[in-house]
Amino acid sequence: MSIDARFRITYPGFALAADLELPGRGVSALFGPSGSGKTTLLRAIAGLERWPDARLIVNGETWQDGKAFVPTHRRPLGYVFQQANLFAHLTVRGNLDYGARRAGAAAARVDRERIVELLGISALLERKPERLSGGEGQRVAIARALLSGPQLLLMDEPLAALDLARRNEILPYLENLRDTLDIPVLYVSHAADEVARLADHLVVLDAGRILAQGPLAETLARVDLPIRLGEDAGVVLDAVVVERDRQWSLARVDFPGGELWVRDSGHTIGSRVRVRILARDVSITLERHEGSSIMNTLPARVAEIGDEADPALALIRLHAGAATPENAPEPAGAGSSAILARLTRRSVAWLGLAPGMPVWAQIKAVALIG
């Protein structure tokens, strides 16, 4: 199951060329700066604009090619915008009823109670949209889209109009959807923290071009992309909670290549979690140092040294736990994980860093994000 898409779109002063092969389940994030073509691509996938040089096949069904074009109203998709766009004259229940009526033959496979529970809106059903907070309104909008029985859910920066508190309120619900939905989700965002927390697959766009696409962890660990994340550069690791230290409110998580102590967020032993390590929080030393406040120190090898936008800085890809031989920077395997470090060029030269070199990675901060 997959999404196969090809679009060639041209406007005055802008062109988009996109060839995508996306998984048929999970969240694929379309990520890039404003004006990179994210929303244009999403609208093309929705069929809101028709272009002659296009192909779209969703889990084996052709929605668009050189011969056929399925119009938007006949495409089994849900679309969630930046604004909730709820019907003001209807209650939450009425808005959900509207979505359910669009399901048609797909209504039999839609579990309304489950969707309402997943999005935490059962207490809101009799309210009008004017009595909802921004986060509540977006959750209702997502529920309405899901009740239409879509085979594909499109989300165009659904958190962009919310303040930080409302964003943090809605993110756990989006994580629940990611983990339980059997349909693919295309999620547009320019916020690196949202992408790190929600995405399984990442597509990086800039100026109408696809710069990279692939599994989230692999793509975030690349140091060769022309687009730079600045202070947001870093990796996401899948880990398992294996120990809790209640005295110090810490938890130990294991991942391929090592272990880390993180703040205890209440996850039970055996829970699968995501941890995010920013490159700015990683330093490199040639020997392991004792008597330091940095608790997370991992053996690693230098895999690659890349450029940063600032000529004084370099981005270093490390393989934590890697056992690759000297001067053989192979991809991280089953027993290792990629980690990024940002150093000054002067530090790189002073340490004599080179691909294949064994080092120690000192990790000053780790965020448990899901």
| pLDDT band per the 50, 70, 90 thresholds, residue 229 | low
| pLDDT band per the 50, 70, 90 thresholds, residue 219 | very high
Beta carbons of 67 and 78 less than 8 angstroms apart? no
pLDDT value for 226:
61
Beta carbons of 302 and 355 less than 8 angstroms apart? yes
pLDDT tens digits, one per residue of 303-334: 999 988 889 999 999 999 854 444 334 445 45
| pLDDT band per the 50, 70, 90 thresholds, residue 142 | very high
Q: Give me the domains of the chain, ranges plus CATH numbers.
A: 2-225 (3.40.50.300), 234-368 (2.40.50.100)
pLDDT value for 146:
94
List the single range of 57-61, 114-118, 240-244, 335-339 with lowest mean pLDDT: 335-339
pLDDT value for 9:
92
pLDDT value for 328:
39
Which DSSP letter does residue 124 get?
G
What is the DSSP track for 67-96?
S-B--GGGS-EEEE-SS----TTS-HHHHH
Tell me what the mean pLDDT of segment 253-280 comes to: 93
What is the DSSP track for 185-224?
EEEEES-HHHHHHH-SEEEEEETTEEEEEEEHHHHHT-S-
